[in-house]
């Protein structure tokens, strides 16, 4: 039987959500500076999202490079969308739902 570390996945998604906020603001600033429809913006946006996720994870959390790369990937994909998609699956649930179950 394959076991997943649900808590680790949730932690990576939470870190990715914060990194997504930072990367989205940085991408908006880049789009303001350069032409909004250029292919350069799309490539830079993808690269920047991934890099911000990795650097943020390595800088502010005790994480190894593999963890940071996953956070970068989740940031690239969009952590909020991932969380909404997987909420209720794989044992992922919000902290509020866990507190309600305890009461």
Tell whether pTM > 0.85.
no
6-58 pLDDT, tens per residue?
A: 788 888 888 888 888 888 888 778 777 776 667 777 788 888 889 999 999 99
User: Is the model more confident about 38 or about 92?
Assistant: 38
Q: Distances in Å between the alpha carbon of 67 and those of 25, 47, 55, 71?
A: 23, 18, 11, 6
């Amino acid at each position: 039987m394959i076991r997943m570390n649900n808590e680790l996945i949730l932690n990576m998604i939470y870190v990715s959500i914060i990194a997504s906020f930072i990367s989205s603001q940085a991408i908006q600033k880049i789009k303001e500076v350069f032409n909004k429809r250029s292919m350069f913006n799309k490539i830079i946006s993808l690269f920047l999202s991934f890099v911000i996720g990795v650097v943020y994870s390595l800088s502010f959390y005790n994480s190894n490079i593999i963890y940071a790369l996953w956070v970068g990937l989740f940031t690239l994909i969009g952590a909020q969308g991932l969380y909404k998609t997987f909420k209720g699956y794989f044992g992922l649930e919000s902290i509020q739902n866990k507190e309600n179950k305890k009461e």
